[in-house]
Amino acid sequence: PENGAEILNESELMDTDGSVYRPDRVVICGNKVSVIDFKFGDHHIEYEKQVSRYAGIWRRMGYKEVYAYLWYVQDGKVMQIL
């Protein structure tokens, strides 16, 4: 990317308990991280918990600005998870 961001596609992410996760996409630009998970069906609260977990891991790694998103591809909707 022109802004110098690093894009990670399906890269493994390990939590403090040793659990390994694989978010669909992570964009790192300086101290800002955006975690994006693509979904192809209906909305489920479990998806929100999943992407929040990913974001929490990045926060614990010391990143100050971490954002989590669900992208419902078929509907073209992007939902930010707080």
Whether the per-residue pLDDT at 2 is higher than 80: the answer is: no
Pair of tokens at residue 31: 């101290």
Structure confidence at residue 35 (pLDDT): 98
Element at 56 (helix H, strand E)? helix 45-60
Pair of tokens at residue 44: 């489920």
What pTM did the predictor assign? 0.91
Structure confidence at residue 3 (pLDDT): 83
Instruction: Give the pLDDT confidence of 8-63 residue by residue, as tens digits.
Output: 999 999 999 999 999 999 999 999 999 999 999 999 999 999 999 999 999 999 99
